[in-house]
Structure 1
Amino acid sequence: MRACHKKSLGLIVLSGLVLALFYVWSPGTSSGVDIQPRQRSEIHELLERKALNAISDYPDITYNIKEDVACRLARNTCVCLADKESFRLPFANLLFPRVWAHKLDLAFLKKHPDPEGVKQHRAQEYSSFQKRSYNPADVPILAEANSPLQYPTQGVEVRPLKTIIIPGLGLKEKTRPNHTVYLTATQGTFDVAATVGMVSVKGEGEKHMILSSPLLSALNKQLQFVTYTNTVFHPSTAETVQFATEGHQSFFTIKVGHRIIPKLYNSGYQREYNISAIVTIATKTFLRYDKLKELIDSIRQYYPTVTIVIADDNEHPQQVTGPHIEHYIMPFGKGWFAGRNLAVSQVTTKYVLWVDDDFIFTANTKLENMVDILEKTTLDLVGGAVREATGYTATYRHTISVEEGGEEGDCLHFRKGYHHVIEGFPNCVVADAVINFFMGRTYKVQQVGFDPRLARRGHLEFFIDALGYLHIGSCHDVIVNHTSKIHLPWTKTESQKAYEKFRYTSSSSESDLYNEIFYFKNRFKCMTSN
């Protein structure tokens, strides 16, 4: 193992807290809700000052760095280094495997025609990702000593099996002959990254550690160097730490988990939206090739180079060819949601637009508007509007709520309407379920997925699965036409009759399936709607 380079421990503590507080946005104060990323607020400044003050306390107390502990702390300065080859023997790599390193930045950028442009685009995408994934519950907040214990109430994280300094620990009490605090953990151990004179530390490298000193300022300085090392591997959990002194005890949590790996899409740095580069249109077809052809022709009128992905579970599939078309054949009658899964799984662009195969694009089907709100807000998915042949335009906006119901299961409440208008986008609102014409972030839609058991019909079920995962909006200014479903009986083709037989014929087994999905899979005991 390579030796750790010695650096200023105070700088590590300071930079760690500052970085943790960097992405803080204040909540809105008006009834009109702005879901765009916000700027630094007065609360942000206050929290940052408190964190910095906690670090700068007791500047006159000296300390000695404990190198074997301090070298394990993250410095946000990772390097790409491979093991040096010490000797060459046959099968040496099998007997003595070496760590290899591949510098992705050099390998990619040296062959790119515009390395600075792609770096700027990557940074912009990452900044947008950080803003979308920001959670106020991750901001470090210190509970100042009212008990008289001072400790962090939230925002402390450690990677699995890694080490951190616990920020904000302190004891604020009257002078006495001796001051003592206790730390107890269950999934990790404590240590100190530096030692302070006149402080006794017992239990280094163990789950229970005792620190004591006749000098309160020395004890508080020592508490600034207390480390926690996770020892029980779990990719996403939390450690509950007990922090106590004589007559008082407190508890706080340390989140244990890997950081979220961003998923960025290199669609090129553009001043204007290049729909063909960032959007793929996905659909599923069954016994309606005539409708599918109308859909494709209408798309090509406005977006001639956008990729169209088609999932097809016809018994006798026909060829669907043309530029920028991907046609995937499925087993016969595999079903509606299985087709959605297949189509969405093949999308490689940043956004996916879902359309039914009997929709028609018009001049009002402006995908740029959908992209614009997804780019500028924290929304993950936005629905449009569908204009029926009768002239009626539907948005199908609904809210979903789950009410706890005890041992028998919960209650699902489904209501028409929306939560609030989106500030800056007067034609858009926030809802929980939208119409069957929507654009979403591809990786987020893929994360939720579509239950493949829903073969004949399904819509609400996707949004129930998405509750808590997707931030959803609806805009009535992006409109797609719906071909007429009204046909006189004697004018129906054999394909139309066959489609209606599959689509609209219900059975007791199908009803049983929907009941099972809601009751067992989602653990609902009842469902209400209007």
Structure 2
Amino acid sequence: GSSLRKPPILFLPIFLYSTHPLSCFLSSTVPAVLCPFTQLFPVTSSPHGDEDIAYHIKEEVACNLPQNTCVCLADKETFQMPFSNLLFPHVWAHKIDHAFLESHPDPEGVKRHRAQEYSSFQRRSYSPADELIVAQANNPLQYPTQGVEVRPLKTIIIPGLGLEEEKRPKHTVYLTATLGTFDVAATVDNVSVSGEGEKHMILLSPYLSALNRQLQFVTYTNTVFHPKTADTVKFATKDHQSFFTIKVGHGTIPRLYNTGYQREYNISALVTIATKTFLRYDKLKDLIDSIRQYYPTITIVIADDNEHPLPVTGPHIEHYIMPFGKGWFAGRNLAVSQVTTKYVLWVDDDFIFTANTKLEKMVDILEKTTLDLVGGAVREVTGYTATFRHIISVEEGGEEGDCLHIRHGYHHVIEGFPDCVVVDAVINFFMGRTDKVQQVGFNPRLARQAHLEFFIDALGSLHIGSCSDVIISHASKIKLPWSKTDAQKAYDKFRYSPSSADNNIHNEVFYFKNRFKCMTSH
């Protein structure tokens, strides 16, 4: 029936338009055949002075090249017959931008906001290693040293190929790949090409200029699907050879958050506060009361693994019950998994907000830098303020495993934020990009004592900072033994009396999961 051609899409426009900068959505079991090859041929400029040499487009190859634009075209219905959609499935098209913007009260505003969010995403995800660099002919081969990418099972022109050598009766180059095949998108007179559509191709010509012109049209088609890998291509003459890589992979789909366009930060729309509680409902109540004093409408997500949970109610509170004693990291996973805002703020249930707990400062540095996570400072009742800044490094150690080194300190001050530094681990009061924190996750096997383990897993994934000018208070832990309640005694038993099994789990995690053989620390 028609449901095969047009599945329910009521939820798609706001999700796809807001989180992914897509303008259309195509679906079918049969790909659409689109080949509007009417533009100038997408070849790069050449230093060999061969741009005037004529070429002949090879349409069956050229039509597979990316056109740097996408279209939303549905198949036209030509005939109707029973079960025709099952036998001959049609491409249906849904214009997400039209569907979302035509009903939005401020379409131009949301377009500007999405463009701003996308620009920020590009700044964070940019890497100089992705830039195209071509090594000029000096050996005498010219080829791209980095920056060549192809989508899985798609076709591209290989940029930058060239040959610079003395005149000879015959000029020949060879191309060899492992995960794909070669072809030419256009042919050039007086050039012989063999091996089209194969992993090994030979190009030969008595004229160097003609060969260089032909090299501008060499294509690579990935034939082995993998979401993220690379093919090493050999480019050679009889006497010389070179190698370069072609990245094979899907592009990174942005995850943008539609928080509304405004001049000032709307903390309630940008941030969710997450915490876990266990046997400390009195402390949790104090935390919530302090948050409400400064941020009355911010959402608070609470993970609770008490044996006899009590109701925690109130506006903008989400209370999730877990199995008894499930543990701290499991609670972190649960709480963070329910966050839908751009940022998540983690706090312990015995923290207290003060006038110095300015979440706007944390949001400001995350919005204006490439940081993924920023920690604050915790002030104890003694007046001491801790930032818990650490540098983490891993030293290769051979077959027995690597060495983990943890040191107090930081890498450098962040430009424009004199109270903030770049680190690898921060204190237990931090704000992070929700999707990046979820990406790293928390090991639920670490139930009682764990903190650095998260940042060890995040090494190489998260860009982390620490700011000393955002401060939260820590409720007093000083209790005389005879004044402790039964709940406090039970909490101390769970929290401060780790069993040998707990120690074994930590050792196993470091030894097996992280492949460490030793750890050094201050």
TM tier, shorter chain? over 0.9
1:281 matched residue in structure 2? 273
TM-score (ref. length: structure 1) = 0.91
2:437 matched residue in structure 1? 445
Q: 1:358 aligns with which of 345, 350, 370?
A: 350
Q: 1:7 aligns with which of 27, 32, 38?
A: 38
Q: 1:406 aligns with which of 369, 385, 398?
A: 398
2:15 matched residue in structure 1? none
Q: 2:147 aligns with which of 128, 149, 155?
A: 155
- In the TM superposition, what are the counterparts of 1:367-382 in structure 2 within 5 Å? 367-382=359-374
Q: CA deviation at 1:53?
A: 4.9
CA contact (8 A) 1:9 1:70 kept: no
1:140 matched residue in structure 2? 132
Q: CA deviation at 1:4?
A: 1.2
- In the TM superposition, what are the counterparts of 1:321-336 in structure 2 within 5 Å? 321-336=313-328
d(CA) in 1 for partners of 2:108, 2:346:
34
Change (3 A) 1:75 1:290: same
Which ranges of structure 1 fall in alignment gaps of 5 or more residues?
Answer: 15-51
* 1:290 and 2:320 are equivalent in the alignment: no
Deviation string 1:155-204 (CA, Å, 9 cap, x unpaired) is 00000000000000000001111100000011100001111111111111
2:4 matched residue in structure 1? none
* 1:113 and 2:110 are equivalent in the alignment: no
d(CA) in 1 for partners of 2:400, 2:75:
58
Q: 1:82 aligns with which of 74, 80, 87?
A: 74
Q: 1:222 aligns with which of 210, 214, 226?
A: 214
d(CA) in 2 for partners of 1:118, 1:170:
46
Change (3 A) 1:257 1:3: closer
* 1:418 and 2:410 are equivalent in the alignment: yes
Amino acid at match of 2:453: E
Change (3 A) 1:505 1:438: same
CA contact (8 A) 1:9 1:65 kept: no
Q: CA deviation at 1:95?
A: 2.6
Amino acid at match of 1:125: E
1:100 matched residue in structure 2? 92
CA RMSD of aligned residues (A): 1.0
Q: CA deviation at 1:90?
A: 3.1
Q: CA deviation at 1:356?
A: 0.3
Q: What stretches of structure 1 move > 3 A for 4+ residues in a row?
A: none
Q: 2:388 aligns with which of 369, 393, 396?
A: 396
d(CA) in 2 for partners of 1:377, 1:3:
40
d(CA) in 2 for partners of 1:414, 1:240:
37
d(CA) in 1 for partners of 2:64, 2:84:
30
Q: 1:312 aligns with which of 304, 328, 338?
A: 304
Q: CA deviation at 1:88?
A: 2.3
Deviation string 1:253-302 (CA, Å, 9 cap, x unpaired) is 00000000000000001111100001000000000000001000000111
Amino acid at match of 1:2: V
1:510 matched residue in structure 2? 502
d(CA) in 2 for partners of 1:529, 1:53:
55
Q: Percent identity?
A: 80
2:376 matched residue in structure 1? 384
SS at match of 1:101: strand
SS at match of 1:94: helix
CA contact (8 A) 1:189 1:208 kept: yes
d(CA) in 1 for partners of 2:324, 2:300:
21
- Report the number of matched residues: 491
Amino acid at match of 1:353: L
Q: CA deviation at 1:3?
A: 5.1
Deviation string 1:242-261 (CA, Å, 9 cap, x unpaired) is 00001000000000000000
Q: 1:482 aligns with which of 471, 474, 478?
A: 474
Amino acid at match of 2:36: H
d(CA) in 2 for partners of 1:314, 1:158:
51
d(CA) in 1 for partners of 2:167, 2:429:
68
Deviation string 1:53-96 (CA, Å, 9 cap, x unpaired) is 55x84122111111111111101110111222222233332232
Q: CA deviation at 1:428?
A: 0.2
d(CA) in 2 for partners of 1:497, 1:117:
55
Amino acid at match of 2:511: Y
- In the TM superposition, what are the counterparts of 1:225-304 in structure 2 within 5 Å? 225-304=217-296
Q: 2:195 aligns with which of 194, 200, 203?
A: 203
d(CA) in 1 for partners of 2:37, 2:506:
62
d(CA) in 1 for partners of 2:470, 2:161:
53
Deviation string 1:320-375 (CA, Å, 9 cap, x unpaired) is 11111100000010000000000000000000000000000000000000000000
d(CA) in 2 for partners of 1:128, 1:326:
30
Amino acid at match of 2:176: T
d(CA) in 1 for partners of 2:453, 2:37:
55
CA contact (8 A) 1:142 1:153 kept: yes
Amino acid at match of 2:187: T
